[in-house]
Chains A and B, each alone.
Chain A
Amino acid sequence: MEAIFEVTQRPNFPELLQTHIVLSVVSLLIAIAIAIPVSLAVRNTPLGSAIAINIGNVGRAVPSIAILALALPVLGFGFAPSLLALTLLAIPPILINAATGLKEVSREVVDAARGMGLSEAQILSRIQLPIAMPVIFAGIRTSAVQVVAAATLATFIGGGGLGELIVEGLQRSDTPVLLAGSFTIALLAIATELIFGGLERAFTPKGLRLARKKK
């Protein structure tokens, strides 16, 4: 146990942790910046949202190591190819949830808002977005946890991150290094899940929370 703890005191440990977090956060932000506008653009066209959701579903079926490995022959080794691969991985869950959440805001509610004279922008910001928000955030949470996990694999294409400890531990049969890497990554993923779970609750509009409690 002590030996595991010692590994976290090594001079390169903060750097690995930092790379891991930077890779995860930046790719998640880029993915949000791509997936949300796309979902907004297709929100009122059933065909558009169906296409977006299906692309998302196929994207989710591609194994994460496959996306990272495929970045290798096209973009080479390093941080940037890892970042791009992780971004591609982060998009599908957000896209699926945002497109589904916006699509499933009931037609009647939107029609009622239109009848009350709200503009399209007002309908979006006051009706569609708040109602879809919990579903959108659930997608972002799934994506965040998935990216933290996949960032572990970035080490295989030279992207750095905590996965390096697992690889080093395995190659040298150094159990403390292996376990230090594994436990840190596990804790990071669990922390991500908890943080985003909290955000999801915080962003659920009060009305929806009350409606859920009643059930």
Chain B
Amino acid sequence: MSRINLLQTYGPLIEWDWISENFVEDILPALQGHIFLSAVSVAIALAISLPLGILAARYRTAYAPVTFVTGLLYTIPSLAMFGILITVPGIGIGPRAVIVALVAYSLLVLIRNVVAGLDAVPPETIDAAKGMGLTPAQILFGVELPLALPVIVAGIRIATVTIIGIATIGAYISGGGLGKMIFDGINRGFPTMIITGAVLATALAIVADVSLLAVERRLRPWARTRRA
């Protein structure tokens, strides 16, 4: 098929009228759904990764098996992961399967960064805290975790950007979000929908990346002064 034929079949690449007409009814909800899916998944993944990461940092023998299993999960292609998850009783087709998959994909990066962040806390600082009579819980929450926070946020940033991309594929198993516009666009042969979904998903990933990077820098004032 020649290119001219294609353009005739598909019409112009972007119909701005369609965008302005459907902005409130279709585009905005898709964007909100996408943000919701990604945010919920990162939050759940963090709730799992923080305790697991703290444990793995304390009991080193657990670290290798934990990264092996989460690394395996991370390697499984998303469409295959969705395909397996929807056959699991209690999950089925829909946002639930997408969220489970997105959580699974976040674990490796998050746990790895929690451990790396805790590892980077200078032992002298912990000794000083002990010498001041702080309890182990106080040391963990008052000294170690705050110092590890920039590295943990760096993990959250990478996980979020990855998840926003993968969530688009979740639309194929009725997860909703911006991917639905892309798949609907493919099915209807309507490039405007594909491009709108694709551009918004990319923009969302970049905005998340840049803003979490800003948070990371703010949490690490010593790095800023050193750079200057």
User: How many whole Å from B31's CB to the nearest CB in chain A?
Assistant: 14
Interface residues of A in 152-192 (CB under 8 A from B): 152-153, 156-157, 163, 166, 169-170, 175, 178-179, 181-183, 185-186, 189-190
Binds A, one of B132-140, B197-205, B219-227: B197-205
Complexed CA–CA distance, A189 and B183 (Å): 24
Q: What 1/0 flags go to A53-88 for Cβ under 8 Å of B?
A: 000011011111111011011111000000000000
Q: Are B173 and A170 in contact (CB under 8 A)?
A: yes
- Tell yes or no: A200 within 8 A of B by CB: no
Q: Are A66 and B182 in contact (CB under 8 A)?
A: yes
CB neighbours (8 Å) of B185 from chain A are 69
CB neighbours (8 Å) of A58 from chain B are 202, 206
Beyond A63-B168, A76-B1, whether A185 also contacts B209 by CB under 8 A is no
User: How many whole Å from A154's CB to the nearest CB in chain B?
Assistant: 11
- Tell yes or no: B79 within 8 A of A by CB: yes
Q: Are B10 and A73 in contact (CB under 8 A)?
A: yes
Complexed CA–CA distance, A150 and B205 (Å): 18
Beyond A66-B182, A66-B198, A73-B194, whether A61 also contacts B79 by CB under 8 A is no
CB neighbours (8 Å) of A66 from chain B are 168, 182, 194, 197-198, 201-202
Complexed CA–CA distance, A148 and B101 (Å): 18
- Tell yes or no: A149 within 8 A of B by CB: yes
CB neighbours (8 Å) of B81 from chain A are 182, 186
Quick one: closest A residue to B14, CB to CB?
A: A73
Q: Are B80 and A185 in contact (CB under 8 A)?
A: yes
B contact face: mostly helix, strand, loop, or mixed? helix
Interface size of A by CB at 8 A reads: 40
CB neighbours (8 Å) of A193 from chain B are 75
Quick one: closest A residue to B83, CB to CB?
A: A182
Which one, B72, B164, B173, B182, contacts A65 given CB within 8 A?
A: B182
Beyond A61-B209, A65-B182, A183-B84, whether A70 also contacts B198 by CB under 8 A is yes
Q: Are A69 and B198 in contact (CB under 8 A)?
A: yes
Beyond A61-B209, A156-B186, whether A163 also contacts B84 by CB under 8 A is no
Q: Are B77 and A72 in contact (CB under 8 A)?
A: no
Interface residues of B in 99-138 (CB under 8 A from A): none
- Tell yes or no: B191 within 8 A of A by CB: yes
Q: Which residues of A contact B (CB under 8 A)?
A: 57-58, 60-67, 69-70, 72-76, 145, 148-150, 152-153, 156-157, 163, 166, 169-170, 175, 178-179, 181-183, 185-186, 189-190, 193
User: Can you list 16 A-B pairs, Cβ within 8 angstroms, ordered by A?
Assistant: A61-B202, A61-B205, A61-B206, A62-B205, A63-B166, A63-B201, A66-B197, A69-B198, A73-B13, A166-B83, A179-B83, A179-B84, A179-B87, A189-B76, A190-B72, A190-B75
